[in-house]
Amino acid sequence: MAQGHGPGRCRCCCGEEAAERGAAWALYLRIDRQRLQCLNERREGSGALVFRAWEERGDRAKFVESDDDEELLFNIPFTGSVKLKGVLVMGEDDGTHPAEMRLFRNIPHMSFDDTAREAEQTFSLNRDPLGELEYPTKIARFSNVSHLSMHFPKNFGAETTKIFYIGLKGEWAEAHRHEVTVCSYEASANPADHRLEQITPQTHFIS
């Protein structure tokens, strides 16, 4: 009975589906990598490696591992304004996989001290060695994001945390720059403001 489902029957639609999914997770292209930071990374620059194409998420040669303890903190500046809709976190199927993720918006240069404040959204993570679990964000809180901070405070019991891939799903738009023109014509004085005092007679009559 199973003969009707040939091996190539859904090759086309599956390819299109993969392409659409890859495009949905393309916010990594909008990261300002020159200013991207990962605090407590064991190998310098390794934090940037986990932000890559969805199709390349299975590349186990690219990962970030924490150094002194299990915490990791990413400061992610974007090249415009982002509406963040979902996050995907892929690690090992063991104790090094992060167990919690906390998201903060528009707080550049966050330090571990800054993580004591309340996050915009907190997630309990499941182990996801294949990169299949999407965590949807509260879009109203992440509709105008120029900088995203991701804090991973703990894992599933190992001394260090290891992440292979972080996917960011959403929309991007160019940053608006209205502030430059708002007060450009306020600098010069209005002559009408001073006209009254100039034409007021100053003559004094002595009787």
Model confidence at 117, pLDDT cuts 50, 70, 90, reads: very high
C-alpha span between 26 and 159 (Å, rounded): 32
How is domain 33-174 classified at the architecture level of CATH? Answer: Sandwich (2.60)
Specify the pTM.
Answer: 0.77
In angstroms, the Cα distances linking 88 to 137, 170, 193 are 11, 12, 60
Which residue did the predictor score with more confidence, 170 or 4? Answer: 170
Q: Any idea where the domains of the chain sit in the sequence?
A: 33-174
Read off the pLDDT of residues 45-76 as tens digits, 9 standing for 90 and up.
999 999 999 999 999 999 999 999 999 999 99
Amino acid 21: pLDDT: 74
DSSP of 66-82: BSSSS-EEEEEEEEEEE
